[in-house]
Structure 1
C-alpha cells in the first residue's frame, strides 16, 4: 500500500489537459464558424476571449423549416420547432451572449454534428471549452424576463426565511403598510435538533413548504433543468448567468443579475435544513413537525431530482442523471464524464463500439482509482448482479446527510483492476464482529466523536438492496437514516446475530474537515468510511460481495486495539 494521500475532487483533473481549446468558435459579427489554428488561434487571434451558451435544442428538431445561417460549416444545422424558439430568438440571444466579444461557443455551430469522430473528440474537451470561456450564459427559452424575475424573486424571499432575513410588507389600505420581519433561526425556536442546532420556524410552516414546492417546480419546469447535457454544463460553470426567451439577463432586487450559483446556494440551504428536520435525532413528541414531514419529503425529492449541488460527488451526479432526458442512453456517461475530467469510451477510441455497461465499468474504475471513498459513497436501490456490486449504477443513491459531507478524503486503501480486469480491494480489513463491538462500547460509554454536526456520533450503516437485504433485514431496519443512532445499533446487533463470521469491513479511508491543514493528522473530525462485505464464490474463486456502506466516528485511540486491522487483498464481486 502506498503512503496515504489526501484527495480532493480537483485531483480528478490531475494529468488531464483541462485547458484544451475548442476546435471551432463562432465569430458572431460575420456568423462564421472559425476553425482553430494550432493550439488556440482563431482568425489570427491567440487565446481570444469568448463566451459560451448552455441551452436545450435536440428534442425540438423538426424536418423542415428556417435554420440558423452559419458560414464555413460542412454540416446541416437542424431547424427547431418555432413554437419553442425562432431563428430570430436565437440570433438575438447570440448577440446578447457575445456581450461585446466577437467570439462565442455554441454547439450547433462549433461541433460537426455529422462527423462522429470529431464530435466525440469535442465531447471529451467540454471541461476545457467551458473552463476557457470568459462568461457563461444559460438560456431559459421557455419563459419571459418578467416571468423569470417574478419566480426568482419569490424563491429568494422564501429561502431568506430560513435565516430569518425575510421581510414581508402587508398593505391594509392605501395609507397603512406593516413590515413583518420573520423570526430568526435562534434559541427561541421550539424545534431543536441535537445540541445547539436549531431549525428555522418556516420548516414546520405548511404554507411555506407548499409555497416553496410550487415556486421551485415553476423554476425547474423549464426544459433546461431536464436535459442531461446541461447537468454537466451547470457543474462546469456554476457562475453562468440566466437569460430569458428574449435574450435578457434576469434582474434581482438589490443584487446583480441572477446567476446559477444563486439558485444552487438557495437549494443547498433548503437541503441542509431538510436534512436536519427529516433525519437528525429530535424530541419524540414534536407534533408540529410530524404534521409537515410528508410535505418536507416531497420538497426534498424535488431538490434531489434537479441535481444542482453535490457536483463533487460522482454518485450524486450519476443518480441525478437518471432523471434527466437524453436521446442516446450512452450519454448517461458521456454527458457527465467531463465534470471529473474523464475521457471515456468513444471520446478516447471512436473506432470501437461501447455499451452503457462498458462505460459504467470505465466510469467506476476511474472514480475508485482516484478515491475509493468517492467511488463507494452510495447505496444500491435495486439489486445488481454479482461482479457489479462494487460499482455505482443509475440506481445508486447517496443518503441526504452523506451528500452534505466533506469531499476531502484520506485514502487508506485502493480499489483497482487486476491483470484479468477484475476489481481488487487492497487495504485494511477487520471482522465485522470486532468493529461492531467497538461501536457498542463507544455508544455505551458515550465515547463518540463529534461528526455530522452531532456530538457523540458513533456509526451508521447503509445497506444495499439485494437478496441478503430482502431475506434477512426486517422492514424497520432497511432504511435507517444517518443520525438515528438507536436503529443503527439495532442493525449492528442483528447483523452480529445472523452473520456468524461471514462479514468483514474493508476500510477505505477517512472524511476530512476541509478547514484542516492538509498535513493535520489525525483529523479533527475523523469520519471513517468502509464497505460491509461478505465472502461469496464468484467465477469459481472466493470473492467479497459489497453489502453496503459504513461510516463511523469515535475516538481514534479506541480503534488502536492490537490486531483489529490487517492488510488484505480481496477480489470484489
Structure 2
C-alpha cells in the first residue's frame, strides 16, 4: 500500500498510539483499531526533548523510557534524554497523566491511549512515513481529547507559585510596588526560560490546541482560584479551573497591555524588561492567533535542524511541504531555502491576501520580495484587522491571484493578476472621500464619549525598508502613514507606482454596543513599482476603509463606494511579474 492509499485508510487517525497501561506503541489497523480497541479516545503531550537527546557514547548509565514499539520487524530505539532535562521515570509519570481522573479540566474521565512523538513516529532518518506523519500534526492534535503542556523543569509547588504570582500581577484592580513588580518579573523570566517556550515544534502544537493544560515536572495540573479580574473576565463555570496555555497567554497579554500603559517613572525598567521577555518568546504574536504572526514568532524559536523552521510550522497553514508531502519522491532532500520558497508559493496561491500582509525591515532584492523572509514583520496596524475567521465570523475575500510559472525556461517568474490603480490617485481619492464614510456619533452615545473629536481616518501605509525608502527624511520614519505615501508620490509623480487590490475584509462586529465600532471593514492593497515593461517590484502594503451599510450614510455617493472597493473605472485589470522563485 502506498502512502496516499494508506492515508486515505487512516482518515483522521494517527498511524500509531501508545497504550499507557503497558507502554506499548500499537499501529493503526483496519477499522482504526489499536490493540483491539476501535477508535479509542486519546490524549497528547507537547514537550521538548530534541536538544537534550544523548548520543550513544554519552552518559551510558542513563536509560530511555521503557516504551516498546510493536507491529514492526525493525522497531526504533526510544531516545535517551539528559536527566538534567528530565529522567525516564519523570517521563513515564507524565505519560500516565491521562489515565488519572482530573477535576477542573471540563472532562474528568480517564483514557488509556496517548499520542507521543517518540512512541508514534519512527525516530530514524529517511523514513517516508515519519515525514508523512509530521505532515499530519493538525489532524492528530485536533483529534486528541485533551492536550498537555509538560513543563519538565518546574515542580508543582514552584510552578503554582510562579503562575499565581504572575496572574495577580496582571490584575488591573491592584497596583504593585516596585519590589512586587520585580518579583513578578523574576518569576515570569524563570517560567519563560523553560526550554518548552523556545522550541519551534511546541509553537505549532499550541497554535493547534491553545487549550492545552499546563503540567508540572511531577505531572500535576495546576489549579487557579479564579479570583483575579483576569480569571473573572475570561472564565465561566463551564470553563476549566486548571491553568491552560491559552489562559496563561491571556495573563501575559494583560501584562503586555499593563506594561505599555505604565512604562514610565519607577516602573519603566521593569515594564520594558517584561515587554522584551514577552516579545522574545513570540508570545505577542501568539496572542493575535494569526497564521502569519505564528510564522514571525517561529523566527524566535530554536530548532535542531534548519529545515524544521518550515516543517515545524507548516501545519499552522494546513500545508504539507517537502518530504512531508505524500507525493514527495523518496530520497529527495530539501534545503531550508527550497522549503521557504515552497511555503511562500503555497501561501501565495491559497491565501493571497494573507501572504502579503507583512513588511520587510531590511532591504531584500527586488526579485525576492514576493514572499515572507526572516526580516519580515507583520505590520501592527494591519494585524489588528486580521482576526481569525474561526473566532470572529470575519472573512478575507481575495480580489487577486498569484502564481509561479514553472515552465521549461527554468526562470520561474512569480506573477500577479488583478485590479490596480495609480498610487497617487488612490491616496488623493481617499482624502477626498473618507470624510463622508462615517456619520457623526449620536449625542450622548457611548462612542461619542470614547471619541469626542471625530477625525478623518488616515489611510494605513507601510513601506518596506528598501534602499530607496531608507533615503526618506527622518520626518517620514517609521515608514508608514500618509506622510510616507506623500513622500513616495513625490519621488514618483508618474504612474509607475500602482496599488494591486489584494482583497477585502469584513464584516463588522457590533461588540454588543449601541452602535458598531467603525474600524472593521477594509481593503488591502500591495504597493508596486514598475521596473520595466511588465515587471514590478514590491514596495509595501496599504489599507483603507470601505463603505459599510451599518454606519456609512445612505447618501454616500455610489461612485465613491465603487472607488473604495475597487470596482470603479479608476481601477484597471493588470497582470505582471513581481519576482522570481529560486
How far has the Cα of 1:341 moved from its partner? 1.4
Q: Map 1:154-193 to 2 at 5 A.
A: 154-161=165-172, 164=173, 166=174
Find the aligned partners of 1:424 and 1:210 in 2 and give their Cα distance.
53
**Contact 2:508–2:521, Cα closer than 8 Å, also in 1:** no
Give the number of aligned pairs: 491
Look up the SS of the partner of 2:535 in the other structure: strand
Q: Residues 568 and 269 from structure 1, CA distance in 2 versus in 1: closer, same or farther, beyond 3 angstroms?
A: farther
CA contact (8 A) 2:469 2:479 kept: no
> Over aligned residue pairs, what C-alpha RMSD do you find?
3.0
Which residue number corresponds to residue 221 of structure 2?
249
What's the offset of the Cα at 1:474? 2.3
Look up the match of 1:530: 525
CA distance in 2, matches of 1:272, 1:366: 35
User: What is residue 566 of structure 1 aligned with on the other side?
Assistant: 572
The answer on whether the counterparts of 1:19 and 1:129 sit within 8 Å (CA) in structure 2 is no
What is the CA-CA distance between 1:512 and the residue it aligns to? 1.7
Query: 2:485 matched to 1:508?
Result: no
Distance 1:293 1:473, change over 3 A: farther
1:320, 1:428 → 2: CA distance?
32
Match of residue 386 from structure 1: 366
1:66 match: 63
Indicate the residue corresponding to 1:400 in structure 2. Answer: 380
Query: 1:259 aligned to 2:244?
Result: yes
Are the equivalent residues in 1 in contact too, given 2:420–2:574 (CA < 8 A)?
A: yes
SS of the residue corresponding to residue 75 of structure 1 reads coil
560-569 or 353-362: bigger deviation: 560-569
Q: For the residues of structure 2 that align with 1:273 and 1:431, how far apart are their CA atoms?
A: 42
Which of residues 323, 347, 357 is equivalent to 1:367?
347
In structure 1, the partner of 2:461 is: 461
Report the equivalent of 2:277. Answer: 302
Shift of 1:446: 7.5
Among 404, 411, 436, the residue aligned to 2:398: 411
Q: Is the 8 A contact 2:290 2:386 kept in 1?
A: no
How far off its partner does 1:226 sit?
Answer: 0.4
Instruction: Indicate the SS of the match to 2:170.
Output: helix
- Cα contact 2:41–2:144 (8 A) shared by 1: yes
**1:96 Cα deviation (Å)?**
1.4
SS in 2 for 1:354: coil
| TM-score normalised to structure 1 length | 0.78
Q: What whole-Å deviation, never above 9, does each CA across 1:506-548 have from its counterpart, x for those lacking one?
A: 111122246489xxxxx983221111110114xxx63111111
Is residue 529–residue 551 contact of structure 1 (8 Å, CA) maintained in 2?
yes
Q: Secondary structure at the match of 1:569?
A: strand
User: 1:327 aligned to 2:304?
Assistant: yes
Q: 1:549 to 1:258 in 2, by over 3 A?
A: same
Q: Which residue of 2 aligns with 1:233?
A: 205
Alignment partner, residue 491 of structure 1: 484
Q: Which structure is richer in relative contact order (CA contacts within 8 A, separation 6 or more)?
A: 1
**Structure 1 segment 77-156 matched on structure 2, within 5 A:** 77-99=78-100, 100-115=110-125, 116-156=127-167
Select the residue among 16, 22, 26 that pairs with 1:34: 26
The corresponding residue for 2:476 is 477
Determine which of 542, 545, 569 is the counterpart of 1:553. 545
Check 1:504–1:22 CA distance in 2 against 1; reply closer, same or farther (3 A cut).
same
d(CA) in 1 for partners of 2:396, 2:429: 23
Q: Report SS of the residue matched to 2:65.
A: coil
Distance 2:430 2:185 in 1: 39
Structure 1 residue runs without a partner (length 5+): 1-15, 167-181, 183-201, 279-287, 482-487, 518-522
Give the 3 Å change call, closer, same or farther, for CA 251–327 of structure 1 in structure 2: same
Q: Closer, same or farther in 2 for the Cα pair 1:241/1:457, shift >3 Å?
A: same
Cα gap change, 1:212/1:398 in structure 2, threshold over 3 Å: closer, same or farther? farther
Residue in 2 that maps onto 1:57? 49
Cα distance in 1 for partners of 2:322, 2:31 equals 24
Residues 54, 233 of structure 1: 8 Å contact kept: yes
How much does 1:423 deviate?
2.0
Q: Is the 8 A contact 2:23 2:67 kept in 1?
A: yes
How far did 1:480 drift? Answer: 5.0
Q: CA deviation at 1:307?
A: 2.8
Confirm or deny: 8 A CA contact 1:526 1:553 kept in the other structure: yes
Could you tell me how far 1:337 is from its partner in structure 2?
Answer: 0.6
Ranges in structure 2 where 5+ consecutive residues have no aligned partner: 1-7, 101-109, 227-239, 388-394, 441-449, 512-517, 549-556
- How far apart are residue 129 of structure 1 and its match? 0.9
- How many Å separate the matches in 2 of 1:506 and 1:307? 31
